[in-house]
Structure 1
Amino acid sequence: MEVSSKMRVFFVCLFLLFLVTVTAVNPSLNDDVLGLIVFKADIQDPKGKLASWNEDDESACGGSWVGVKCNPRSNRVVEVNLNGFSLSGRIGRGLQRLQFLRRLYLANNNLTGSITPNIATIDNLRVLDLSNNNLSGVVPDDFFWQCGSMRAVSLAGNMFSGNVPSIIGSCSAIASIDLSVNQFSGSVPKEIWTLSGLRSLDLSDNLLEGEVPEGVEALKNLRSINLARNSFSGKIPDGFGSCLLLRSIDFSDNSFSGNIPNGLKELVLCGYFSLGGNAFSGDVPEWIGDMKGLQTLDLSRNRFSGLVPNSLGNLWSLKTLNLSGNGFTGNLPESMANCTNLLALDVSQNSLSGDLPSWIFKSDLVGENKKTGRVKSSLYSLNEVPVQSLQVLDLSHNAFSGEITSAISGLSSLQVLNLSYNSLTGYVPSSIGGLKTCSSLDLSNNKLNGSIPLEIGGAVSLKELILENNFLIGKIPISIGNCSSLTTLILSKNKLSGSIPAAVAKLTNLKTVDISFNNLTGNLPKQLGNLPNLLTFNLSHNNLEGELPAGGFFNTISPSSVSGNPFICGSVVNKKCPVKLPKPIVLNPNFSSPDLDPSSPTPTLGRKRNILSISALIAIGAAAFIVIGVIGITVLNLRVRSTASRSPAALAFSAGDEFSRSPTTDANSGKLVMFSGEPDFSSGAHALLNKDCELGRGGFGAVYQTVLGDGRSVAIKKLTVSSLVKSQEDFEREVKKLGKVRHQNLVELEGYYWTSSLQLLIYEFVSRGSLYKHLHEGSGENFLSWNERFNVILGTAKALSHLHHSNIIHYNIKSTNILIDSYGEPKVGDYGLARLLPMLDRYVLSSKIQSALGYMAPEFACKTVKITEKCDVYGFGVLVLEIVTGKRPVEYMEDDVVVLCDMVRGALDEGRVEECIDERLLGKFPVEEVIPVIKLGLVCTSQVPSNRPEMGEVVTILELIRCPSGSDGQEELLG
């Protein structure tokens, strides 16, 4: 490899020597070609964007060279624009030969290294843009030594450090300087403040310090200045008031102090003015209203005090006003009703007081005060909403009082409403449901009373609803289920009562829930365990009871989140739940009677109900005992005689046979338990194990489809490892554990059937069949696009991650166990069935799951290695390669056996991995996704278990692969 690299360098140098020789003969013909080819040789072009740059061309101006523009008269290159080409490497000396170059754009690439003064020595260069790369080091003084023609320079978004070169002050014609988002330090050279032609100066997001000197009035042409997020100090020079063309001023997040200089009142053209995050103090001057062009005014996080200036009402163009984090007192002036274009108003964290501003919350003309009965007055007509366009309103952390009027619905464009930490009273108005566009509503830490209005469900865009620490009563409204985008629901520290509505379980986007310190009662809806995105759920200090929901977040909920509920039980609170055993549904395969209701505790004869005396019951009981004894002895004799011909289980269930309608003995009875509901099997029981309804066979048994009495299809797995299955008690305990595992990408276990010689598992029916069928059988309708395949991979990874989080190992990962539902979502089946066996011996894992050939991790063959979740990771890796390539894990050729993992790994090493991709996907897949997925599959199939990632990490990697912004993290994880 090293010799090859040296040879490449040798030939490049030889080629460049040839070009130099040619240009010596005719320099005007080849200077541009030579310079660009030398530049190209120094960089990497992973996307082949510069493929059209051909060293055999006599000129770069034929129109075919991408990113190159020429002067049609001189036929010389005047512009090179390679913005966003994903180029990497260093900027070499080649561009120095482009002596007619006027504009050079290399922004938004991955260029590295330091910059040399060679670029700036190009005589005619006017625009230089190197922004948003990874360039670093100190910018040398001589970089700007010959910048007489320079008009604009941008080094923004790199990692430059050291001082800003003072020689930049010699660039007398320069109009724009952007050095933002770097690590420049020290003070700004005073020469910069004398550049009279300067129109735009951006030094934001650096480590600059010191004071801005007097004399800035020399910047007569300045339109925009940004010094934000540095460590500047001192006062703002009054001279900026002489820069009458200024339209944007951002001095935020520094250490400036003093008053706002009076000279700034002359800046009538200024539209953006931000002094936020400094140490300014005193009153805000009334002349602020003379800056008529203001659209954004940010004075937040300073030490301003006094009243909010009445003159703000003169700023008719104002769209954003931020006065938060100061010491303002009084109320907002009524004159601000004139600011009809206002979109965002933030006056939080001040000492404002009085009723909520009437020009925002106008009173109803016909509204009646609940305390006095007097009709409320209003300054505005019913149709007049002064700030109807308002999108963000934050009045939090003040001392506002009074009530929230129903006129709040007039703020029809509102997206964020925060009135928290005030002293508001009264009810939450029902008109709150009219805020259709509102995504965040925070009324917490006030004195609100009454109930949460049912109309809250009308605010369908809500993502955050925070009502904590008030005096709210009543129930949590069922209508909350209409707010499907809700991620945060905080109702703690109120006096809410009743139960938690099951509608909350519909809010699948929920991440944070806090209903603590209320008077809630009843059981938690079991469906809450299906919420996929929950991060916290605090239900402490209520009167809730019963067992916590199973699955998902509730499997690992913190004990502190359930404390203060004396009747909550479960392992989290170390309190055993009372055993409430429902009468199981008993399926008697040899008996059928239309008069009996299988869900009834005891059969009844007709509809008559007899009330018997105690003596009669005793007599009947004695007679029954004698009869049962006689029958029992007779049945035992009959069973002994019939055992040789056929076992009871075989008599009861035989693939292809209908259920017998003759009476059966107790020994032939089976126990059917459904985890939810009591379905009627009467119409479909005869087909429970019908051979014609067989869906397939696997390592643990055959699967049949049947239809319940309610018309619902289910899949029945008949276990064929009966001789190895645990006792009934152990079997039922393990099956119930599996029944509690819930995830959108897992096939749901709905119930089971037990006899000593026959065990059935009842699953939900998944309509579109197995992944194996879609990959290897047929074509056309079964074909999976790349997007569908990626979703299968991601969904399977999430399912396995959930199983591992629940301490369940699958043991049997393969494409026949991945099913596809009607929405194209994958569902993993056959999980955890090895838990039903008394031991994980080698016979079981090799013989009974032999269909998993090619998926089994190498440690299965080692007697001393513990079987762990990493075995599932290996099988998942093989599955990934199977999905991408469309090939089986092991394929038998005429003279060879091809192992998929080895084949793909070899192809990757030889640089031809794209040849392995399923030919049905050719031209229809993104390489930037497929190749990392293949690499991930190979990492998962590492021979060493410790080198395989956890399934949680696999999910993270897949999500990074799908989202290009996380590509760096993806490469790091894949190694």
Structure 2
Amino acid sequence: MLLNLLTILFLAPFLVESSDSGFNDDVLGLIVFKAGLKDPEAKLISWNEDDDNPCKWVGVKCDPRTNRVSELVLDGFSLSGHIGRSLLRLQFLRILSLSKNNFNGTINPILAQIGNLRVIDLSENNLSGSIPDEIFRQCKSLRAISLAKNNLTGQIPNSFSSCSTLEGVNFSSNQLSGPLPSQIWSLTVLRSLDLSDNLLEGEIPQGIGSLYDLRAVSLRKNNFSWQLPEDIGGCLLLKSLDLGENSLSGGLPESIQKLSLCTFLSLSGNLFTEEVPDWIGDMRSLEVLDLSANKFSGQIPYSLGNLQFMKELNLSMNQFTGSLPESLANCINLLAIDVSQNLLTGNLPAWILKLGLRSVSFSGNKLSGSIKYPSLTSTAAASYQSLQFLDLSSNALSGEIPFVIGNFSSLQFLNMSGNSLIGAIPTSVGELRTTQFLDLSHNRLNGSIPSQIGGAVSLQELRLENNFLTGKIPIQVGKFSSLTSLILSQNNLTGPIPAAIANLSDLQLVDLSFNQLSGSLPKELTNLSRLLSFNISHNHLQGELPVGGFFNTIPLSSVSGNPSLCGSVVNHSCPAVHPKPIVLNPNSSSDSGGGSLSPNFRHKKTILSISALIAIGAAIFIVIGVVTVTVLNLHVRSSLSNSAAPLTLSTGDDFSHSPTSESNYGKLVMFSGDAEFVAGAHALLNKDCELGRGGFGAVYRTVLRDGRSVAIKKLNLSSLIKSQEDFEKEVSNLGKIRHHNLVVLEGYYWTPSLQLLINEYICSGSLYKHLHEGESKNCLSWQHRFNIILGTAKGLAHLHQLNIIHYNLKSTNVLIDRSGEPKVGDFSLARLLPMLDHYTLSSKIQSALGYMAPEFACRTVKITEKCDVYGFGVLTLEVVTGRRPVEYMEDDVVVLCDMVREALEAGRVEECVDGKLCGNFPAEEAIPVIKLGLICASQVPSNRPDMGEVVKILELIQCPSEGQEELE
């Protein structure tokens, strides 16, 4: 048998063309086909070359009349290899289905030569290359072809339009590109066409209305543009039309209303405008209507109430106004409604929870009033039991959370955040036993967290931040065995952190910051192996931080604001436990000589002896120090006189010191590279090389001996500078900071009356110049602006991780390098000036007007990292809008933050985006960035996020697939 098989493999290329083989054609063709495959699961073990016919082989069917193979169906067999010529022997084959395997290489055009082939299914493999033109050019009886979910590229061949027998086509989920074949609608018997999830582009051609048998069309997730074909309503039998996620525009063609049999219509994720016409209610067969993520405006048509078969309605992310029409109460089969992210007003409709809906989303509108639920009748009880998803977040709802919320026994997702809800959290939340996500944050809830909440045993995420909650964190949170996120920050919670939290092995994110929590941290918290963030900052916690696991690398910002915490992370050692000291009685006599000194005199004598010893030791130490410093100074002066030349300073300025009274030598320190400057016409501080002036001094450009340009900042506050020792210590610390988005401090120069900072030179100038000056004004694309905002945030976050405050963030202190990346400069200069208080500091950096946090005006408020966050928020708005933080008009002063906030409240926030921005901008990114800027620029420091949180939010805005959430 082995010899026979080897003979077959060797002669295979010749046997395909031979008519004199002793083997049955079907057996031979299939055995040779099998020989070219890998069959890891031995699914084809029944295929035996010694059999006279293959009709009983697995995956093979024969025509009972001819006893020849008519179907080869090997779906999901884990086969791999190439589809070879041997299949040509199966001349009676009608169905070839090899889907859900691992076939690779290109599609063999010989398939077209199998004369009776009617169905080809090669979907869900690893096929590559283009679709062979021959398959359609030699098309004889082909009825259906599926090449979906492969790696095919190139254009759909024009010969595709000549295969007039085609009824079903599926080329979805490939990388096909280019326009549709011009004669595609000449396939008059076509019933199903799926070209979704490709890179196709151009216009959908007219003529589709001639396809009377067409039942389903999906062109979803391509790059089609222009308007819909006007004759699309001619496909009278069309039941499913999916054109979502393209760039189609204009209004809806009137002919669509003729699609009376259509049950599925999706136009989501396009650029459709105008109002949705009333005739949409004439499409009585509709079960799914998805018009989301377009630019539809006006009111939601009342005629939608005529669609009594409708199960899903999605009108989210448009610009609909007014209230939801009461007629929708007639849609008795409705299961899901999503009208989120619109401009809807009015109250939450009372009927919305009477229809037995499974999913309801009204988030991101302007709904007001209290939340009303139907009374607990038998009908209402059924409605309660069906609801699984309820999102009412980001509205203006008021009143209390109704107690009947606990009757939603099937609820999995509940979000009421970002409203104005008051009162206590009802104890009935403990009845939500199936709820996985519960968010009541950013409201005005008060009272304590009810202990009954422990009944919600399926919770995976609990968010209650930004409320007025009091009392202790209930130990019942330890019952949430699947909990991954626990966010309770910015409340008034008191008491200890429950040790039961340490039992929640799936916990990843914990934020208990900005509360009044006290006591020590449970040591068992180190057992939380999946922990990614644990923020307990700004509480009254005390004692030692846990040691081990996540807590060995916990960021300082996550534990700051707890002055009584100790441990290596907070750089505060914990007090050691010492044995009690031995106390000697000063009145007892220990004089063995029996002297006559009184007890008081003996005590004074002992004290004087100890004081004398301390004084003598200190004097010896001082003398040694003086001698050592003197020797070192003599050595340094000797070295300078032998090897260093005076540093040349040539400026147009008159220095405040006398040349005759100061040494010719200053101390020049470079942290890396050459420490010598190029001599010549351009000296170190030449006025011709001045780059600019700021609150802390002028900046000049010069060149080092190794050819590198550097920027020299001459500090103009010498009388306030710390001592040389403190100055050098601070500057040396700043010189160690390295980050992609921070300007590098290269070195410094010191004399008592002149201090210079030597910085990395950034060639493309400041962000201010790019936004407001010269030829480059406003010529920044959205992506460039977003990258500048994100890079600046990362630079600030790095500084804050090192416990460094910038103090003076503004667009002139953000520099742009040649690759367009932002670099934050001039950070922490105020740390060199110990004599500055709030008022002095604000006057020295008065050029930062508009960026300065309100704390600068209050002597009693501590300056923290949140001041930088405020400046970053203003800077963000400046980048997005292209406007200065404060602009002076003839009769008015415009403050940027106030202007943007008013526009947001009026629903005109998109108008704030810079009109001269190069290219279009994605509103789904720009609007959340604007909202984030306003949050950062909050008047209340505790309402501003940390810069680390800002970076995460920006990354989510940029990559919504990772879980974007709308900012408030």
Q: TM-score range by the shorter chain?
A: 0.5 to 0.7
For residues 856-880 of structure 1, the C-alpha deviation after alignment (integer angstroms, 9 at most, x for no partner) is xxxxxxxxxxxxxxxxxxxxxxxxx
Q: Is the 8 A contact 1:345 1:393 kept in 2?
A: no
Determine the structure 1 residue equivalent to 2:475: 478
Determine the structure 1 residue equivalent to 2:122: 130
Q: Is the 8 A contact 2:8 2:32 kept in 1?
A: no
Q: Is the 8 A contact 1:349 1:398 kept in 2?
A: no
Helix, strand or coil: the match of 2:493? Answer: strand
Determine the structure 2 residue equivalent to 1:491: 488
Helix, strand or coil: the match of 2:452? Answer: helix
Determine the structure 2 residue equivalent to 1:666: none
Change (3 A) 1:572 1:405: same
1:395 aligned to 392, 395, 398, which one?
Answer: 392
Determine the structure 1 residue equivalent to 2:404: 407
Change (3 A) 1:319 1:377: closer
2:163 aligned to 165, 171, 174, which one?
Answer: 171
Q: Is the 8 A contact 1:360 1:387 kept in 2?
A: no
Q: Which amino acid aligns with 2:271?
A: A
Q: Which amino acid aligns with 2:564?
A: F
For residues 635-680 of structure 1, the C-alpha deviation after alignment (integer angstroms, 9 at most, x for no partner) is xxxxxxxxxxxxxxxxxxxxxxxxxxxxxxxxxxxxxxxxxxxxxx
Aligned residue runs from structure 1 range 361-400, under 5 A? 382-385=377-380, 387-388=383-384, 389-400=386-397
Q: Which amino acid aligns with 1:391?
A: Q
- The Cα of 1:25 is off from its aligned counterpart by 5.7
Q: Is the 8 A contact 1:149 1:173 kept in 2?
A: yes
1:206 aligned to 198, 211, 222, which one?
Answer: 198
Helix, strand or coil: the match of 1:408? Answer: helix
**Counterpart-to-counterpart distance in 2, 1:70 and 1:137:** 32
Q: Which amino acid aligns with 1:192?
A: I
Q: Is the 8 A contact 1:346 1:395 kept in 2?
A: no
Matched, 1:197 2:193: no
**Counterpart-to-counterpart distance in 1, 2:308 and 2:407:** 20
Q: Is the 8 A contact 1:343 1:392 kept in 2?
A: no
Matched, 1:506 2:496: no
**Counterpart-to-counterpart distance in 2, 1:475 and 1:114:** 66
2:146 aligned to 138, 154, 161, which one?
Answer: 154
Aligned residue runs from structure 1 range 769-780, under 5 A? none
Q: Is the 8 A contact 1:174 1:198 kept in 2?
A: yes
- The Cα of 1:383 is off from its aligned counterpart by 4.1
2:526 aligned to 520, 525, 529, which one?
Answer: 529
- The Cα of 1:286 is off from its aligned counterpart by 3.2
Helix, strand or coil: the match of 1:359? Answer: helix
1:323 aligned to 301, 312, 315, which one?
Answer: 315
- The Cα of 1:557 is off from its aligned counterpart by 1.6
Q: Is the 8 A contact 1:497 1:521 kept in 2?
A: yes
Change (3 A) 1:89 1:213: same
**Counterpart-to-counterpart distance in 2, 1:582 and 1:348:** 66
For residues 464-504 of structure 1, the C-alpha deviation after alignment (integer angstroms, 9 at most, x for no partner) is 11222233333222222222211111122223222222222
Q: Which amino acid aligns with 2:477?
A: I
Determine the structure 1 residue equivalent to 2:100: 108
- The Cα of 1:339 is off from its aligned counterpart by 4.1
Q: Which amino acid aligns with 2:497?
A: I
**Counterpart-to-counterpart distance in 2, 1:17 and 1:310:** 69
Matched, 1:573 2:570: yes
Determine the structure 2 residue equivalent to 1:599: none
Aligned residue runs from structure 1 range 74-93, under 5 A? 74-93=66-85
For residues 887-924 of structure 1, the C-alpha deviation after alignment (integer angstroms, 9 at most, x for no partner) is xxxxxxxxxxxxxxxxxxxxxxxxxxxxxxxxxxxxxx
Matched, 1:43 2:40: no
**Counterpart-to-counterpart distance in 2, 1:245 and 1:60:** 42
Q: Is the 8 A contact 1:208 1:231 kept in 2?
A: yes
Determine the structure 2 residue equivalent to 1:366: none
Q: Which amino acid aligns with 1:519?
A: Q
Change (3 A) 1:243 1:497: farther
**Counterpart-to-counterpart distance in 1, 2:80 and 2:379:** 58
Change (3 A) 1:290 1:539: farther
Change (3 A) 1:107 1:403: same
Determine the structure 2 residue equivalent to 1:187: 179
Change (3 A) 1:310 1:353: same
**Counterpart-to-counterpart distance in 2, 1:472 and 1:338:** 41
Q: Is the 8 A contact 1:501 1:525 kept in 2?
A: yes
**Counterpart-to-counterpart distance in 2, 1:582 and 1:320:** 74
Q: Is the 8 A contact 1:70 1:76 kept in 2?
A: yes
- The Cα of 1:580 is off from its aligned counterpart by 4.3
Change (3 A) 1:359 1:121: same
**Counterpart-to-counterpart distance in 1, 2:427 and 2:49:** 74
Matched, 1:518 2:510: no
Aligned residue runs from structure 1 range 859-874, under 5 A? none
Q: Is the 8 A contact 1:270 1:294 kept in 2?
A: yes
For residues 487-545 of structure 1, the C-alpha deviation after alignment (integer angstroms, 9 at most, x for no partner) is 11112222322222222222221111122222222222222211222122122222222
Q: Which runs of 5+ in 2 are unaligned?
A: 356-368, 590-968
**Counterpart-to-counterpart distance in 2, 1:352 and 1:377:** 18
Q: Which amino acid aligns with 1:196?
A: T
Q: Is the 8 A contact 1:356 1:401 kept in 2?
A: no
- The Cα of 1:156 is off from its aligned counterpart by 0.6
Matched, 1:34 2:31: no
Change (3 A) 1:404 1:213: farther
Percent identity, aligned pairs only, is: 58
**Counterpart-to-counterpart distance in 2, 1:582 and 1:248:** 83
- The Cα of 1:196 is off from its aligned counterpart by 2.4
Helix, strand or coil: the match of 1:201? Answer: strand
- The Cα of 1:159 is off from its aligned counterpart by 0.9
- The Cα of 1:119 is off from its aligned counterpart by 0.8
For residues 566-597 of structure 1, the C-alpha deviation after alignment (integer angstroms, 9 at most, x for no partner) is 222111111111234799xxxxxxxxxxxxxx
**Counterpart-to-counterpart distance in 2, 1:286 and 1:519:** 56
Q: Which amino acid aligns with 2:245?
A: D
Q: Which amino acid aligns with 1:147?
A: C
- The Cα of 1:387 is off from its aligned counterpart by 4.3
Helix, strand or coil: the match of 1:183? Answer: coil
**Counterpart-to-counterpart distance in 1, 2:405 and 2:468:** 21
Determine the structure 1 residue equivalent to 2:542: 545
**Counterpart-to-counterpart distance in 2, 1:375 and 1:538:** 34
Q: Which amino acid aligns with 1:50?
A: L
**Counterpart-to-counterpart distance in 1, 2:279 and 2:473:** 50
Change (3 A) 1:558 1:282: same
Matched, 1:24 2:20: yes
Q: Which amino acid aligns with 2:67?
A: N
Q: Is the 8 A contact 1:323 1:348 kept in 2?
A: yes
**Counterpart-to-counterpart distance in 1, 2:207 and 2:534:** 59
Give the RMSD, CA atoms, in angstroms: 3.2
- The Cα of 1:19 is off from its aligned counterpart by 5.2
**Counterpart-to-counterpart distance in 2, 1:102 and 1:376:** 61
TM-score normalized with structure 2 length: 0.55
**Counterpart-to-counterpart distance in 2, 1:456 and 1:406:** 13
**Counterpart-to-counterpart distance in 2, 1:449 and 1:489:** 18
Q: Is the 8 A contact 2:348 2:371 kept in 1?
A: no
Determine the structure 2 residue equivalent to 1:446: 443
1:280 aligned to 262, 272, 275, which one?
Answer: 272
2:10 aligned to 8, 11, 14, which one?
Answer: 14
**Counterpart-to-counterpart distance in 1, 2:144 and 2:91:** 18
Change (3 A) 1:377 1:270: closer
Matched, 1:219 2:211: yes
**Counterpart-to-counterpart distance in 1, 2:371 and 2:232:** 49
Q: Which amino acid aligns with 1:436?
A: R
Q: Which amino acid aligns with 2:286?
A: L
Number of residue-to-residue matches in the alignment: 569
Helix, strand or coil: the match of 1:204? Answer: coil
Q: Which amino acid aligns with 1:67?
A: G
Aligned residue runs from structure 1 range 333-732, under 5 A? 333-360=325-352, 382-385=377-380, 387-388=383-384, 389-580=386-577
